[in-house]
Amino acid sequence: MVSVYDVVEKAVKTGKVDKGVNEVTKAVERGVAKLVVFASDVDPKELTQHLPILCKEKSIKFVEADSREKLGISVGINRPTAAVAVIIEGEAKLDSIN
């Protein structure tokens, strides 16, 4: 099984991603996000709890990752990030995530 971090990493290298809750929210509202990944260790939870609801409304696939730290690393930044949206998947196989 492919980890969500591997998919995000590949999308960063070969496609396009938006990072951060505000950018991800905008991508979802515009309907351009193909996959949304948000970290489960976000505090306060209110920062990201609207994302699954929005994704369901727009029929966008979403997954929860366990770590903001790892999510930040997978998008190539040296800071933890709460959410990432894959806009253009490139070579990332979005179907390989359950």
The pTM score is: 0.95
Q: Give 59-80 pLDDT, tens digit per residue.
A: 999 999 999 999 999 999 999 9
- What total of structural domains would you count in the chain? 1
Report the pLDDT averaged over residues 43-62: 97
- Residue 82 lies inside a defined structural domain of this protein: yes
- Residue 70 lies inside a defined structural domain of this protein: yes
Q: How many Cα atoms are found within 13 Å in the side-chain-facing hemisphere of 82? A: 16
Domain CATH code at residue 42: 3.30.1330.30
- Residue 98 lies inside a defined structural domain of this protein: no
Name which of 37, 24, 98 is nearest 67 in CA terms. 37
- Residue 97 lies inside a defined structural domain of this protein: no
Report the pLDDT averaged over residues 15-25: 97
Which residue range forms the structural domain that includes residue 77?
Answer: 4-90
